[in-house]
Structure 1
C-alpha cells in the first residue's frame, strides 16, 4: 500500500470515529476550529420515547469502524457483529430465535432475500446463510473487504469490495459469474454504498463519483451517470466517493457523493432528473415528499422530491458526525457521535425529542417500522423504541 493510500485510510478512520471531515483533519486541536461540534441546547420534549427491549450482539461494529447493518423481515430482525456472531431476534420481544458463531470476522451485512442472509468478511469473503437456522450454505472469495451488505435476488448474489470491484455470484452454488473493475482514486472514504437489485438490474456507486447500472446476470453495463467531478489540486480535495445508502423510489434513484452532489437519476437511462451541490457520505432517505440528507457540515436538509428546491434545513447539529436521517412515523431520526438520538419533524425540521441510547454512537443506519425505531449501537446494543406524540 502506498503512503498516500495509507494516509487516506487513516484520515477517513479519524473522520468516522469523530466528527471531523477529511478536509478538516489537520485542523483538529485548534481551539478556533470552525468545525468544532455544536453544543446541544435544551429543547421542548414533545414525544414519548419508550424503550421496548434491548439485547447485545457480540462486539457490535468491533475495532474496524465497520457499519454492519441489521435488517427486518416480518417479525424477525437479523443482526451481525464484527467478531462473527449472527443472530435472529424476535422483533416484538427482543428474544433470540437462533444464534450462530462464525469463525470469520465480518465487515458487511446483513443482506436478505427470502430464505437467505448475505454477509461479507473483512478477509475478503462473501457468505450465504440459511435465514431459518443460520447455517452457512456457501462461502466465496473476493479481492478485498466487503464493507456493505451483499444483495441477492434468487438467481445472483452481488457484493461490492473496498478496492472498487463488484461481483456477481450464482445464488445456489456461490460460483463467480462476473466481475466489474472500477478504477480506484489515490484517496477514498472508507466504505462503499450498498448495491441495489431491482428486477434484472443492479445499481452501484463507486469512489469515482459515478453510479452504474449493470445487468444482474452477466455484469454488462447498461448506463453510467457521473454524480460528482473531482476538483482541486490535492488528492483530498478530489475525493468524490459515492458512499452511504442510495434510495430507490419507482423509477427514481436518489444518491449523494462526498464533495459533489445529491442527484435524482432516472433508473431507465441514468439521466439526471435534478441535482444539487452537497457533500455527504451518510446516505439518503425519503418520506413526506422529501429526500433527506445529512451534509458533511452536519446540516440536515429536506429536498423536495420533485427537485423544486429545499423544504427545510436544520443546522443546529453542525459537525456532530450525524448518521443518515431515517423517517419513523411522521418524524425523522438522526444519531450523533456522542450517542444522542435526535427526533425531528418531517414537516419543518423542528426538534421534538432527544435521548441517549449509548455513549458510543451508532454508525449503522437505524431501522423503522411504523412507530418503532431500531438502533444498533457501535458497542453492539440493539434497542427498540416506540415513538409517539404526547398530544
Structure 2
C-alpha cells in the first residue's frame, strides 16, 4: 500500500540530489532508463520512466478537492482539472492540461493551477516546460497561461495580486494574477522542492525539500535562512502565530520564523502525513495509522487515537478533525471524524474505492455544509454525508460529459 510519501519517492520526487552523478532524476530515473514495461531484471526506476507507469497514474486524484460556491474543483495526477456540482456531482466543465499533484487555488472567480508539461514517460516530462494557468471558475475558460520551468506542481499561493508557484525542479516563480506576466523567479541552491504547498506570510515564503526548510525574503528575492538538515517528509507546512510546523520522519517539528531553528519536536510512533493547527497541533501518521495531538507550547503529546487504513491527509474544521484513509487491498476508503474537545473518535464512515494501476492513493478531505469530498486512485470523486454516514454521490469525472457540452 503506497503512502503519499512512498508515491513521491517512487516517482523520484524529493530523493534526487541535484548535481550528483548517478542519482535518480526528480520525476523518474536516469535519462537512459526508458523501459516501457517492467521486467524481472528491470529496476523500479526504469518502470517509473515507462509509458505504462505514467498511464497507470493518469487518473489518480491525489490533491485535496477545493470547494467554492456551488462547485468542487479536482485535478488528476496526469490529467485534467474539473468543476463538479457540489450537490449532485455532475461535471460542469473540464479544463484539459497535462496533470498536477496538488490542489488548485480558488481566489474570487479564478482557479489557479499548473501542470508539468507533456510527455509519455518521466524523462520526456522532465525535458518539457510546465504551464501556469488562470481559469475562470464558472466557465472553465482559460484567462491566461504562462510557460514556466521546473514543473510547477505545488498548490499556488495568491498574495497581493501575485501568484506564487513553487516548482519541483526550479525554485519559485511569481506571476501577476491579472495577466500571468512573470515578475521574477528564484532558484534554491540547496536543490529541488517537494510537491507541497509553500507558506507565504509577512513578506516571506517558506518551502521544504529533503534537505530542510527554506525561508525566502520576497522583497529581496533571496534566501535568508536554511534550517539544519533534518529528514523531512514531503507534506504541507503549517503555521500559527508562534511557529512554523513541518512533518519529519519521527514527528512534528516547530521552527522559528526568524531563524529556522527547531524549537521543539513532538515525537510520534509513525510517519506524519499532514498537519493541522488550532489550540493543538494535529497530525495523522502511517505505520502505524494514528491521529496525534501535541501541545503547541512544548510539543508534548496531548492525546492519540488509532485509525484504520493508510492516511492521505486531514482537515480541521470548527473543532472537528476529519481524516481520510484508504485500503485498496479491501477496496475501502474511510472517513474518520474526531471530536477534538472530547479527544475521541466520533464516527468512522466506510465507502468503496477503486484502484487503477500502480498508484494506489487518494486525496485528503474537504468539508462543506455537512458533506465531505474525497477522490480515489481510479479517478472517482465522492461526496460523503457526514450526519447520515453514507455516500451522497459518486462520480467519475473523466468518463462524464460536462453539462456545457451536452
TM-score, L = length of structure 1:
0.69
- Identify if the C-alpha distance between structure 1 residues 6 and 180 changes in structure 2 by more than 3 Å, giving closer, same or farther: closer
State the Cα RMSD in Å. 3.6
Is 1:167–2:186 an aligned residue pair?
A: no
Instruction: Using the TM superposition, give the Cα deviation of residue 203 of structure 1 relative to its aligned residue in structure 2, in angstroms.
Output: 2.2
Does the 8 Å CA contact 2:104/2:112 hold for their aligned counterparts?
Answer: yes
- Identify if the C-alpha distance between structure 1 residues 382 and 113 changes in structure 2 by more than 3 Å, giving closer, same or farther: same
Is 1:126–2:132 an aligned residue pair?
A: yes
Instruction: Using the TM superposition, give the Cα deviation of residue 349 of structure 1 relative to its aligned residue in structure 2, in angstroms.
Output: 4.7
Does the 8 Å CA contact 1:333/1:344 hold for their aligned counterparts?
Answer: yes
Does the 8 Å CA contact 1:83/1:104 hold for their aligned counterparts?
Answer: yes
Instruction: Using the TM superposition, give the Cα deviation of residue 334 of structure 1 relative to its aligned residue in structure 2, in angstroms.
Output: 2.8
Structure showing greater relative contact order (alpha-carbon pairs closer than 8 Å, 6 or more residues apart): 1
Of 175, 184, 189 in structure 2, the residue corresponding to residue 178 of structure 1 is: 184
Of 297, 311, 324 in structure 2, the residue corresponding to residue 306 of structure 1 is: 297
1:361-376 matches, cutoff 5 A? 362-369=361-368, 371-376=370-375
Instruction: Using the TM superposition, give the Cα deviation of residue 222 of structure 1 relative to its aligned residue in structure 2, in angstroms.
Output: 4.4
Instruction: Using the TM superposition, give the Cα deviation of residue 358 of structure 1 relative to its aligned residue in structure 2, in angstroms.
Output: 0.9
Does the 8 Å CA contact 1:155/1:172 hold for their aligned counterparts?
Answer: yes
In structure 1, C-alpha distance between the alignment counterparts of 2:201 and 2:113, rounded to whole Å:
19
1:271-310 matches, cutoff 5 A? 271-277=261-267, 280=271, 282-287=273-278, 289-295=280-286, 297-310=288-301
Is 1:143–2:149 an aligned residue pair?
A: yes
1:323 corresponds in structure 2 to 312
Of 243, 257, 274 in structure 2, the residue corresponding to residue 252 of structure 1 is: 243
- Identify if the C-alpha distance between structure 1 residues 213 and 370 changes in structure 2 by more than 3 Å, giving closer, same or farther: farther
1:109 corresponds in structure 2 to 103
Instruction: Using the TM superposition, give the Cα deviation of residue 131 of structure 1 relative to its aligned residue in structure 2, in angstroms.
Output: 2.2
- Identify if the C-alpha distance between structure 1 residues 352 and 101 changes in structure 2 by more than 3 Å, giving closer, same or farther: closer
In structure 2, C-alpha distance between the alignment counterparts of 1:268 and 1:104, rounded to whole Å:
38
Instruction: Using the TM superposition, give the Cα deviation of residue 375 of structure 1 relative to its aligned residue in structure 2, in angstroms.
Output: 1.0
Is 1:4–2:10 an aligned residue pair?
A: no
In structure 2, C-alpha distance between the alignment counterparts of 1:247 and 1:61, rounded to whole Å:
31
- Identify if the C-alpha distance between structure 1 residues 248 and 309 changes in structure 2 by more than 3 Å, giving closer, same or farther: same
Does the 8 Å CA contact 2:307/2:336 hold for their aligned counterparts?
Answer: no
Does the 8 Å CA contact 2:111/2:135 hold for their aligned counterparts?
Answer: yes
Is 1:200–2:224 an aligned residue pair?
A: no
Does the 8 Å CA contact 1:107/1:122 hold for their aligned counterparts?
Answer: no
Of 62, 65, 72 in structure 1, the residue corresponding to residue 67 of structure 2 is: 72
TM-score, L = length of structure 2:
0.67
Of 219, 222, 229 in structure 2, the residue corresponding to residue 220 of structure 1 is: 222
- Identify if the C-alpha distance between structure 1 residues 85 and 9 changes in structure 2 by more than 3 Å, giving closer, same or farther: closer
In structure 2, C-alpha distance between the alignment counterparts of 1:181 and 1:247, rounded to whole Å:
22
- Identify if the C-alpha distance between structure 1 residues 159 and 146 changes in structure 2 by more than 3 Å, giving closer, same or farther: same
SS state at 2:372 partner: strand
How many aligned residue pairs are there?
A: 324
In structure 2, C-alpha distance between the alignment counterparts of 1:155 and 1:71, rounded to whole Å:
20
Is 1:63–2:58 an aligned residue pair?
A: yes
Q: Deviations over 1:102-158 (max 9, x none)?
A: 254444431222222111212122212222322222222233323321222242111
Is 1:158–2:176 an aligned residue pair?
A: no
In structure 2, C-alpha distance between the alignment counterparts of 1:284 and 1:248, rounded to whole Å:
9
Does the 8 Å CA contact 1:261/1:275 hold for their aligned counterparts?
Answer: yes
Q: Which runs of 5+ in 2 are unaligned?
A: 1-15, 30-43, 45-53, 118-129, 390-406
Instruction: Using the TM superposition, give the Cα deviation of residue 307 of structure 1 relative to its aligned residue in structure 2, in angstroms.
Output: 2.9
1:341 corresponds in structure 2 to 334
Does the 8 Å CA contact 1:119/1:149 hold for their aligned counterparts?
Answer: yes
Does the 8 Å CA contact 1:205/1:212 hold for their aligned counterparts?
Answer: no
Instruction: Using the TM superposition, give the Cα deviation of residue 80 of structure 1 relative to its aligned residue in structure 2, in angstroms.
Output: 2.4
Q: Deviations over 1:51-89 (max 9, x none)?
A: xxxxxxxx9994386733321224432222345433333
Instruction: Using the TM superposition, give the Cα deviation of residue 335 of structure 1 relative to its aligned residue in structure 2, in angstroms.
Output: 0.7
In structure 2, C-alpha distance between the alignment counterparts of 1:65 and 1:208, rounded to whole Å:
28
SS state at 1:5 partner: coil
In structure 2, C-alpha distance between the alignment counterparts of 1:255 and 1:248, rounded to whole Å:
9
SS state at 1:69 partner: coil
In structure 1, C-alpha distance between the alignment counterparts of 2:56 and 2:369, rounded to whole Å:
26
Instruction: Using the TM superposition, give the Cα deviation of residue 315 of structure 1 relative to its aligned residue in structure 2, in angstroms.
Output: 4.6
